[in-house]
A and B are shown apart, each in its own frame.
Chain A
Amino acid sequence: MDNKRVLIYAGGILGIVILTLILSQFHIFNSSRSFMFIVLLTIIMVLFNEIQNARKDSDSIFLRTIPGLKAVEEAVGRSTEMGRPILYVPGIMDMNEVETVAGVIILGHVAQMTAQYETGLDVPVARSIVMQAARESCKEAYLSQGRPEMFNEDMVHYITDDQFAYAAGVNGIMQRDKPAACLYMGKFYAESLLFAETGNGIGAIQIAGTASQAQIPFFVTACDYTLMGEEYFAASAYLSRKPELIGGVKTQDTVKLMLIGLIIVCLVMRALFDLDIVSFNLLDMIG
């Protein structure tokens, strides 16, 4: 972070703390959640500032390379060469999960590539609202590439809400259609290894993206590339290079630095408290 940014954020946080202190004098304000209020307003402030900066000049913003994202285009290219479809699994949860939302956004970018390369795309889903959202996303992608005639509503199709029945259905599709690339982007539970193992068995190039901590090990083991946690959330920004999304990634980075700083401050304050140098523990004030 440059000095100008540090000054802006320090000033902003000071302002937010003062605002919180003023609001806490009123009965309508829940003082026990003051820290959460400060953190939320700080994140919003950083987000607005970073988006504004990205809108001014997004090309100059550096984002390091994520190997798994480069592989997405490679996977589409491989499918095109082999004349086989791409299987895209947007997880098993509904649109109220942030991972599913990210999965549907990335699906839009993948659909743009399949429209460009005239490659088949198959998206089996486990939730009705996800089906509707995924269809909208694909339709828009094919329209944006000037290939509306290639879009077919049935490329996004519902299987079932049940976790393992959905896994059985998707595995069946993999076995019979033999997709050249399998992309798993969303929230997964125990079915993750079933997908990844079957995909591995049919020789498909596999790219997974999820923030489900318990499932990342399975994807790491069985897939060619895995986008872990925040890499996955940053994927849409990398693929689209839209200023709003790049601003979001920069916000994540800035907030991470702030959190590391806060952890160090809390650690030092706790040590001072344990050594009886100060009389209060900062951790108690966090909530």
Chain B
Amino acid sequence: MSFSTILGAWIAAFLTLGIFSYLYKDNPFYKIAEHVFVGVSAAYWAATFYWTQIYPNLFGRLFAVDSPFASMYVIDKGHEYNGLYFFPLLLGIMMLLSVFKQINWMARWGIAYTVGIAAGLKAFGYLSSNVISQIKSTAVELFSGELSFFAMSGDSIFNNIVIFIGTISALMYFYFSREQSGAYGRFTRLGVYFLMISFGASFGFAVMGRISLLIGRFNDLILFSNPSYNYGTFWMLGLIIVVLGYWSFQNPERTEG
């Protein structure tokens, strides 16, 4: 195994254990891992944005093979020249001008453009994907004669009635123009129960996903503790425990009050 692979594994083990050390308390190892993570990711994202978005999609169209500027500079990313792309370039430059106080108002144009375009696009998208599909899913089959009255899963008359009442009561909970009291209040309370049951199911599902992420990290730590990686995990764990122990001894926790 190459030196660079082993070094990478040791760094990965150190950073993983450094983040885990937060379980003890905020400490220098966690701070190192946190700052490295934030700094590297900020730089990584800046570079990724430029090379995967701005360079091929913007400059690739402005300096395409058939562009009027082809005699000066060519970026061949398989796009045709499109002069409209000067507009996003201009908006981008205006955003950057926000560093100059006297003309930082120019950045508002970019924000206004982003928000305006998003509002128009999302209005149609939400209507189509959320509202219309919700109506279709709620207007369920009740009297076809083909459904059984009850089933543990899948379509049944009982389940369809639950879907209908759950949707209507949850919608009514978000009706703001009326005080939630009396019979109406009890109906909206039913909507809250439906919401909480769905949140509970969603919570359990997400926790299962997090557990699989944790297992992934442990798998890596176990792998890096092999002799082929020179017992990287054990060395890093030992280092962190010793240094943390010394650091705690030097900085005894102060109690307030």
Query: A: which residues have CB within 8 A of B?
Result: 35-36, 39-40, 61-64, 66, 94-98, 101, 128-129, 132-133, 136, 158-162, 164-166, 168-169, 171-172, 175-176, 190, 193, 213-214, 216-218, 220-221, 228-231, 234, 249-250, 252-253, 256-257, 259-260, 262-263, 266-267, 269-271, 274-275, 282-283, 286-287
Let me know if A256 and B124 touch, CB within 8 A.
Answer: no
Q: Is the interface of A mostly helix, strand, loop or mixed?
A: helix
Residues of B within 8 A of A175 (CB): 26
Q: A129-B114, A136-B108, A218-B206 are in contact. Are A286 and B135 (CB under 8 A)?
A: yes
- Which of B65-73, B125-133, B234-242, B243-251 contacts its partner? B125-133
Let me know if A132 and B95 touch, CB within 8 A.
Answer: yes
Q: Is the interface of B mostly helix, strand, loop or mixed?
A: helix
Find the B residue at minimum CB distance from A39. B127
How far apart are the CA atoms of A253 and B98 in the complex, in Å?
A: 39
Minimum CB–CB distance from A95 to chain B (whole Å) comes to 5
**9 A-B pairs with least C-beta separation:** A162-B41, A266-B139, A96-B118, A165-B41, A217-B203, A217-B199, A160-B42, A161-B45, A274-B144
How far apart are the CA atoms of A52 and B56 in the complex, in Å?
A: 47
A-B contact pairs, 17 of them (CB 8 A): A40-B127, A96-B115, A98-B122, A132-B107, A161-B49, A166-B38, A171-B34, A172-B26, A172-B34, A253-B176, A256-B171, A257-B175, A267-B142, A270-B142, A271-B142, A274-B144, A286-B136
How far apart are the CA atoms of A171 and B23 in the complex, in Å?
A: 13
Q: Is B168 positioned at the interface, with any CB of A under 8 Å from its CB?
A: yes
Minimum CB–CB distance from B116 to chain A (whole Å) comes to 10
Most buried by A among B38, B44, B171: B38
How far apart are the CA atoms of A168 and B123 in the complex, in Å?
A: 33
How far apart are the CA atoms of A252 and B131 in the complex, in Å?
A: 12
Let me know if B174 and A231 touch, CB within 8 A.
Answer: yes
Let me know if A214 and B119 touch, CB within 8 A.
Answer: no
Let me know if A160 and B45 touch, CB within 8 A.
Answer: yes
Let me know if B111 and A132 touch, CB within 8 A.
Answer: yes
Let me know if B168 and A260 touch, CB within 8 A.
Answer: yes
How far apart are the CA atoms of A213 and B170 in the complex, in Å?
A: 13
- Which of B80-88, B148-156, B177-185, B217-225 contacts its partner? B177-185
Given pairs A36-B132, A253-B177, A267-B164, 8 additional interface contacts (CB within 8 A): A39-B127, A40-B123, A95-B114, A96-B117, A214-B206, A220-B199, A256-B174, A267-B142
Let me know if B119 and A98 touch, CB within 8 A.
Answer: yes
Q: Which of A61, A161, A172, A256 contacts B41 (CB 8 A)?
A: A161
Let me know if B195 and A128 touch, CB within 8 A.
Answer: no
Q: Which of B38, B128, B175 contacts A256 (CB 8 A)?
A: B175
Let me know if B38 and A160 touch, CB within 8 A.
Answer: yes
How far apart are the CA atoms of A32 and B82 in the complex, in Å?
A: 32
Q: Which of A101, A229, A266 contacts B135 (CB 8 A)?
A: A266
Let me know if A162 and B131 touch, CB within 8 A.
Answer: no
Most buried by A among B117, B136, B196: B136
Most buried by B among A171, A190, A263, A269: A263
Q: A256-B175, A274-B144 are in contact. Are A217 and B37 (CB under 8 A)?
A: no
Q: Is B138 positioned at the interface, with any CB of A under 8 Å from its CB?
A: yes
Q: Is B212 positioned at the interface, with any CB of A under 8 Å from its CB?
A: no
Let me know if B37 and A164 touch, CB within 8 A.
Answer: yes
